Amino acid sequence: MLGNQLRRDLRWLSRDLHWLKRQARKDRRITVSVLTGVLAFWYRQLSPADPMPASGPLLAISLGLLTASGAAWLVSAYFLAITARPQREPVEVLRRVSRISRAKEWAFCSLSAYVAWHLLQFVTALLVR
**pLDDT for 53 beyond 90:** no
d(CA 17, CA 108) in angstroms, rounded, equals 25
Instruction: Provide the whole-model pTM.
Output: 0.80
HEC assignment per residue over the chain: CHHHHHHHHHHHHHHHHHHHHHHHHHHHHHHHHHHHHHHHHHHHHCCCCCCCCCCHHHHHHHHHHHHHHHHHHHHHHHHHHHCCCCCCCHHHHHHHHHHHHHHHHHHHHHHHHHHHHHHHHHHHHHHHC
pLDDT digits (tens, 9 = 90+) for 99-117: 999 999 999 999 999 999 8
**pLDDT for 28 beyond 80:** yes
pLDDT digits (tens, 9 = 90+) for 55-103: 777 888 888 888 999 999 999 999 999 988 877 787 888 888 899 999 9
Query: What does the pLDDT read at residue 1?
Result: 56
